Amino acid sequence: MQAEALTLCEKLERSSDTLPGGLAMYHPEWHQGVVGILASRIKERFHRPVIAFAPAGDGTLKGSGRSIQGLHMRDALERLDTLYPGMILKFGGHAMAAGLSLEEAQFERFQQRFGELVTEWLDPALLQGEVVSDGPLSAAEMTMEIAQMLRDAGPWGQMFPEPLFDGHFRLLQQRLVGERHLKVMVEPVGGGPLLDGIAFNVDTTYWPDNGVREVQLAYKLDINEFRGNRSLQIIIDNIWPL
């Protein structure tokens, strides 16, 4: 399924100077139970909102969408429903994920209108996979107290995102947990505490890589709570080998 979706995206790239701001994709052999995962992975690769559709078996399609920071997926679907009554049969969701259904005959129309709306609404910089952080933390700021202050300052959300920090670290340990999550231990290159961290849904083509000794991270400071114990950890949004 993922290979088929990437082939569709590559065809779009070759047939247009720029990829549409939002991708709506459909294949008759895709299954409803996994289109959400598919949309998420294609979103990560192409840095733009994606909706993947599968046949429902009654002449309609069911889609699952995943968005990026800057585009509220449900609001986008609501706007399309207002602009083009009847194109969408039903929809629901929230900022980062949504589901919808439409008649199969409406797919190409929806594909075009969704791409146009996202292009209109989104800052083009957000489609380039650029990472904007709140800067580095000093070693003195990498503490449980600071992590608790950040937790208490929430709730965080689409329009009020959780602070994202960046830094240069030594990569001391790395291993996969589950099928696609990278568990690491890192240390700031300028000195500081040893930190446990986890990066979710990494590309296992590249990670783990025992040849990598230093990394640049974009991360959130967090507290891990397990069996009554609390410890400092980082949640890694992006990891780049150095």
| Contacts by 223-231, CB closer than 8 A, 24 or more apart | 223/144, 223/147, 223/148, 223/151, 224/196, 230/144, 231/144, 231/196
Model confidence over 90-120: pLDDT tens digits? 999 998 899 999 999 999 999 999 999 999 9
Model pLDDT, residue 158? 64
Q: In the chain, which residues have pLDDT < 50?
A: none
Model pLDDT, residue 15? 57
Model pLDDT, residue 13? 62
Domains and CATH numbers, the chain: 1-127 (3.10.310.30), 144-241 (2.40.50.460)
Model pLDDT, residue 114? 98
Model confidence over 222-231: pLDDT tens digits? 999 988 899 9
CA 198, 201, 206 angle in degrees (round to 5)?
A: 90
Model pLDDT, residue 159? 66
pTM comes to: 0.60
Model pLDDT, residue 69? 78
Looking up tokens 């960046």 gives: 166
